[in-house]
């Protein structure tokens, strides 16, 4: 939700003494309720009509909300460029802030006005809350600004300053700008606004093109006329010269002009073709109607207001009539477009009768260019979900497959099943997904969106119109829940439908490419990688302890907003304490066999601020599963979650694990084999030694016969065996390695540092690695310095060759670490 709400108290669970014995009875009753047994209703606490899903409780008082609507609609007229996205509409608060900052930039300027912008914004919201059609912005803002100045009662200087800043603000607002509240038909108004914003600049550009072609064709005919004999007659010459004709003899001039030479004139066929094209283009007048809505008389036109360029058409079958209206409009414009194309070819001298005559004889809307199709007045078929899912489906399907750039708008209720009457149980059958039905028409543009997210809606409409193909727009409309202390508006309910996967956003645009990766746009959905959108929720438990949990907003939470679905909920008695109750999201994540041991619930808040658990019926849980299944299908189409990819990853992991296990088994077997061989060898050696001992024993005397001692051992006296002779002292070898200076050339990095000190001492070998050529050619100090700066520490200075060199004591000490 993008609404802002402040000042709400922290929800709290009422305290109650738990009763273990009563809990058993309560659970038995709750299970019967969950399974749909109507006889237990009287044993349960009735559900109050003031309950809201826990996550939506802060928005209970809609009058304290700041949300996107009303919108400021920028005027469609007055510019050559098409408006898109934020250039089409902005939320009221954003528009006021940006407009004020534009006329009074900087923190210190227009301080009084900026401090009172929230007051002005609130006054605008109250003034527009019941409006259904767009309201001119400038007059309303001027009126409310005057009232605000009077209510503030500022001193004279402050009043004059505020009035001056308000005047600057009003002057900056476009004359044709309008405010649009979230009434009953915001999507229709935004569709019309998109069409006007795109078509008006295109028509202005086309009008300039026609005028250019008219001038070009007239010039062609004038040149052709100049080639004729009549153009060289005295009367024609006098007319061509004009006021100065009395200064020369026209007859004499005509006599001297050469009538035998000149460029080849037009053929009669070409001249007639040029004249016909010119006549057609000169007769063109842009149609005042920019968009036609075709509906079954279910549209209250008074709610649309007075919209320039809008026409309402009533028909028993909007899809068929919309197709007919498009064909009629396209047939009229085909003559104009053909004349414009002929004019361009003739002006550029590129018309080839053998090629172009057959082409223009069969020229119709299917031959229109992209730009030409965009000039055809938009045709919108406004259909009901029940008709499209029922009696009108064949005509609906034929229109989607026709390729004609007609847009079909179908408004749906998030909780309802388009395939069922609104007064029947919406959960009696699996839901008919009209957007999914539209996808089966592979070359149609399909969008599922909502006016609750105006930027998404505007983008979908703009993209669909630009795609110049049949488009289906399934648009969720919010309901205003009725009930005690529940002031939620339609915008919040429609937003909740998006959060609860009731009405997910998606776009299928065949113009974007051939694969789903190119065609599918999944943007606008909250947390698209999850099953349900999850938000932090803070409350106080029965003991008054502050708690914060991750709370999912599911289809069951959304259903609590619909009064007719309240029968699927019942409050869990406060004395009940059990692990058998599970949040709906956790319940749905289980396998059905496992979940059968539990009872699902949602958290809800009443108008007293009491947080309660509401048990949910199995019927509603099945509807949740159905919505989740559709959500998973959309995730897979959009590439957010792919079951094929998950299977592939699992198989790859299994292959890797199997290969690893096989390798481990092979290594283990090899190790065991080597260990067995080692044991066999060790056992053989032990047996061999044992055999030797046994063979050396004297079994006749009863005492073992020891093996004969070696010669060396035989000459050793007992005294000698008890006292070892001291080892002869080892003569220390003289350390000659550090006497002579040397370089470990293999480590040399060819840095040139040593050669820079003394190139006679240090030189490179054939491999550009240093060695000492003549140590006596330099000093010991140079040798030590070279060792210290060598980056690879490969120079070993040794000992000084000249004992009389100055400072040897210090140099030897420095050289020690490198020797």
Q: What is the helix (H) or strand (E) element at residue 601, kind and residue range?
A: strand 599-605
Pair type for strands 471-476 and 407-412: parallel
For the ranges 47-61, 80-94, 168-182, 518-532, which has the lowest average pLDDT? 80-94
SS3 content of the chain, % helix, strand, coil (to 5): 50, 15, 35
- Domain spans of the chain, in order of start: 30-60+523-530+565-641, 70-181, 189-254+265-476, 644-696, 742-818
**Does residue 738 surpass a pLDDT of 60?**
no
pLDDT digits (tens, 9 = 90+) for 152-201: 999 999 999 999 999 999 999 999 999 999 988 899 999 999 999 999 99
Listed residue (210, 160, 221, 186) closest to 91, CA to CA: 186
Residue 180 — φ and ψ, nearest 5°?
-125, 120
Q: What is the DSSP letter of 66?
A: B
Residues 6+ positions from 739 with CB-CB distance below 8 Å: 798, 799
According to the model, what pLDDT value does residue 736 have?
Answer: 40
Read off the pLDDT of residues 763-817 as tens digits, 9 standing for 90 and up: 999 989 999 999 999 999 999 999 999 999 999 999 999 999 999 999 999 999 9
For residue 557, pLDDT over 50 is answered with yes
Closest CA to 344 of 501, 483, 210, 500: 210
Q: What tokens were used for 647?
A: 């299977």
> 663 by DSSP, 3-state: which?
helix
Q: Which of 11-25, 91-105, 438-452, 454-468 is the least confident region?
A: 11-25
Strands (E), 451-598: 471-476, 506-508, 520-521, 533-540, 546-553, 569-571, 581-583
Q: How confident is the model at residue 735 (pLDDT cuts 50, 70, 90)?
A: very low
In this predicted model, what pLDDT tens digit does every residue of 472-511 receive, in sequence order? 999 998 766 554 445 578 899 999 999 999 999 999 999 9
Distance, CA of 241 to CA of 229 (rounded, Å): 17
| pLDDT, position 6 | 44
pLDDT of residue 482: 52
What are the tens digits of pLDDT across the range 630-639? 999 999 999 9
Range 79-85 contact pairs with CB under 8 angstroms and sequence separation of 24 or more:
79/201, 80/201, 80/204, 80/205, 81/201, 82/197, 82/198, 82/201, 82/202, 83/197, 83/198, 84/197, 84/458, 84/459, 84/462, 85/455, 85/458, 85/459, 85/462
Residue 41 or residue 375, greater confidence: 375
Of 565, 555, 553, give the one whose Cα is nearest residue 625: 555
Q: Which residue has the higher pLDDT, 335 or 683?
A: 335
* pLDDT exceeds cutoff 70 at 711: no
What confidence tens digit (pLDDT) does each residue in 235-264 have? 665 666 666 656 667 666 556 655 544 567
Q: Is 97 exposed, middle or buried (0-12, 13-18, 19+ CB in 10 A)?
A: middle
Q: Does domain 742-818 have CATH number 3.40.50.360?
A: no
Whether the model clears a pTM of 0.85, i.e. scores above it, the answer is no
pLDDT of residue 287: 86
CA distance 558 to 770: 82
Q: Residue 484's pLDDT is what?
A: 42
Q: Is the pLDDT of residue 650 over 90?
A: no
Whether residue 613 has pLDDT greater than 70: yes
pLDDT tens by residue, 196-227: 999 999 999 999 999 999 999 999 999 888 77
Residue showing tokens 């063979």: 695
pLDDT at 724: 44
Q: How confident is the model at residue 526 (pLDDT cuts 50, 70, 90)?
A: very high
């Amino acid at each position: 939700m993008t609404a802002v709400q402040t000042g709400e108290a922290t929800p709290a669970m009422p305290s109650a003494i738990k009763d273990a014995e009563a809990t058993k009875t309560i659970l038995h009753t709750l299970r019967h309720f969950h399974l749909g047994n109507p006889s237990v209703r009287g044993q349960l606490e009735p559900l109050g009509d003031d309950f809201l899903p826990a996550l939506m409780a802060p928005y209970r008082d809609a009058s304290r909300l700041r949300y996107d609507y009303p919108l400021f609609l920028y005027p469609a007229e007055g510019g050559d460029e098409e408006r898109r996205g934020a250039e089409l509409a902005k939320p009221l608060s954003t528009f006021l802030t940006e407009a004020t900052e534009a006329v009074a930039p900087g923190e210190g300027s227009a301080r009084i006005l900026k401090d009172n912008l929230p007051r002005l914004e609130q006054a605008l919201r109250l003034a527009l809350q019941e409006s259904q059609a767009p309201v001119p912005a400038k007059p309303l803002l001027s009126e409310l600004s005057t009232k605000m100045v009077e209510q503030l009662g500022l001193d004279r200087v402050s009043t004059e300053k505020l009035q001056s800043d308000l005047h600057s603000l009003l002057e900056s607002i476009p004359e044709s700008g309008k405010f649009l509240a979230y009434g009953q038909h915001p999507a229709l108004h935004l569709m019309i606004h998109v069409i006007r914003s795109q078509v008006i600049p295109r028509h202005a550009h086309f009008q300039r093109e026609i005028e250019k072609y008219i001038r070009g064709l007239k010039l062609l005919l004038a040149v052709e006329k100049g080639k004729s004999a009549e153009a060289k007659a005295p009367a024609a010459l006098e007319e061509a010269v004009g006021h100065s004709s009395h200064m020369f003899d026209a007859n004499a001039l005509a006599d001297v002009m050469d009538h035998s030479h000149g460029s080849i004139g037009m053929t009669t066929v070409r001249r007639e073709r040029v004249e016909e094209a010119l006549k057609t283009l000169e007769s063109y007048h842009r149609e005042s109607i920019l968009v036609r809505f075709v509906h079954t008389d279910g549209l209250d036109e008074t709610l649309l207001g007075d919209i320039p360029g809008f026409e309402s058409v009533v028909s028993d079958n909007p899809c068929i009539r919309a197709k007919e209206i498009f064909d009629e409009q396209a047939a009229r414009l085909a003559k104009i477009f053909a004349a414009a194309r002929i004019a361009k070819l003739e002006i550029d001298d590129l018309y080839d009768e053998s090629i172009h005559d057959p082409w223009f004889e069969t020229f119709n809307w299917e031959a229109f260019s992209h730009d030409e199709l965009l000039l055809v007045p938009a045709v919108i078929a406004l259909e009901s979900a029940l008709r499209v899912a029922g009696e009108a489906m064949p005509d609906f399907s034929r229109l989607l497959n026709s390729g004609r750039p007609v847009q079909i708008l179908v408004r749906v209720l998030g909780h309802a099943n388009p395939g069922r009457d609104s007064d029947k149980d919406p959960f009696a059958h699996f839901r008919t997904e009209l957007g999914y039905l539209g996808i089966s028409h592979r070359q149609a543009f399909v969008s599922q969106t909502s006016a609750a997210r105006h930027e998404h809606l505007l983008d979908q409409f703009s993209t669909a119109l630009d795609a110049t193909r049949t488009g289906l727009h399934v648009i969720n409309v919010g309901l205003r829940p009725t009930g005690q202390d529940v002031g939620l508006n339609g915008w919040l309910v429609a937003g909740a439908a998006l959060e609860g996967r009731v009405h997910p956003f998606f776009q299928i645009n065949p113009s974007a490419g051939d694969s789903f990766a190119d065609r599918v746009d999944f943007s606008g959905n909250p947390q698209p990688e999850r099953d349900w959108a999850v938000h932090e929720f803070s409350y106080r438990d029965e003991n008054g302890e502050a708690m914060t949990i991750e709370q999912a907003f599911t289809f069951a939470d959304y259903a609590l907003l619909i009064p007719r679905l309240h029968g699927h909920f019942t409050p869990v008695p406060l004395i009940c304490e059990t692990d058998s109750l599970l949040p709906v999201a956790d319940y749905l994540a289980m396998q059905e066999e496992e979940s059968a041991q539990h009872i699902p619930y949602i958290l809800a808040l009443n108008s007293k601020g009491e947080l309660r658990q509401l048990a949910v019926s199995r019927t509603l849980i099945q509807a949740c599963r159905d919505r989740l299944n559709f959500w998973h299908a959309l995730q897979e189409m959009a590439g957010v979650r792919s079951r094929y990819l998950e299977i592939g990853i699992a198989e790859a992991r299994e292959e890797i694990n199997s290969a690893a296990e096989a390798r481990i088994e092979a290594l283990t077997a090899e190790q065991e084999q080597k260990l067995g061989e080692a044991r066999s060898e060790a056992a053989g050696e032990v047996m061999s030694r044992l055999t030797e001992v046994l063979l050396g024993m004297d079994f006749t005397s009863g005492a073992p016969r020891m093996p004969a001692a070696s010669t060396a051992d035989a000459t050793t006296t007992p005294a000698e065996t008890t006292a070892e002779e001291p080892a002869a002292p080892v003569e220390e070898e003289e350390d000659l390695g550090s006497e002579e200076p040397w370089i470990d050339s293999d480590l040399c990095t060819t840095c040139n540092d040593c050669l820079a000190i003394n190139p006679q001492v240090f030189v490179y070998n054939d491999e550009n690695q240093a060695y000492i050529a003549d140590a006596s050619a330099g000093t010991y100090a140079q040798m030590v310095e070279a060792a210290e700066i060598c980056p690879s520490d490969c120079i070993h200075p040794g000992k000084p060759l000249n004992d009389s060199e100055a400072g040897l004591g210090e140099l030897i000490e420095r050289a020690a670490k490198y020797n």
